[in-house]
Amino acid sequence: NQRDPQPGDLIEIFCVGYQHWAVYIGGGYVVHLTVPTGGVISSGSGPGRDNKKGIVRKNTLKDAVQDCEWKINNLLEDKYIPRDAYVIVKEALRLVGTEHQYHLLGKNCEHFATKLRYGQGESRQ
């Protein structure tokens, strides 16, 4: 059984064909980098979403996950010391509504989430 997410935890969301990443900020909310596609906001890591503008959104965890599976995955704990939860949440909230260049291999939602948690943006995708 998985523990409840804590502020600053990374949330890995498993959708059909791709994974999406968000940062839990408490109270049932996450902040994540999304990419507009055809008028719909989707998670930023799907196929064909390259060299676009991403928008940082604050959503409930339930809305971000939708029908997908998810887990807490603080994947770089063996490599980096996480920043203080207060700092992660404050920075995440400051970024809500801002646009960022999105690139699948260099600046995706996993880079965004890991940079918030560890101060270093990395992605296995």
Joined together, the tokens standing for residue 95 give 């970024």
Query: How confident is the model at residue 50, as a pLDDT?
Result: 52
Options 15, 32, 68, 103, the catalytic residue:
32
Options 20, 68, 103, 111, the catalytic residue:
20
Query: How confident is the model at residue 41, as a pLDDT?
Result: 47
- Report the 10 Å Cβ neighbour count for 97: 10
Task: Tell me if residue 109 is catalytic.
Answer: yes
Task: Tell me if residue 68 is catalytic.
Answer: no
Task: Give this prediction's pTM.
Answer: 0.87
**What are the Cα distances from residue 122, in Å, to 7, 28, 39, 73, 112?**
20, 25, 28, 13, 8
Rounded Cα distance, 74 and 3, in Å: 13
Rounded Cα distance, 2 and 71, in Å: 8
Options 15, 100, 109, 111, the catalytic residue:
109
Terminal-to-terminal C-alpha distance of the chain: 26
Query: How confident is the model at residue 125, as a pLDDT?
Result: 62
pLDDT per residue, tens digit, the chain (125 aa), is 478 999 999 999 999 888 999 999 999 999 999 987 644 345 555 555 555 889 999 999 999 999 999 999 999 999 999 999 999 999 999 999 999 988 777 789 999 999 999 999 888 76
Rounded Cα distance, 74 and 48, in Å: 26
Task: Tell me if residue 111 is catalytic.
Answer: no
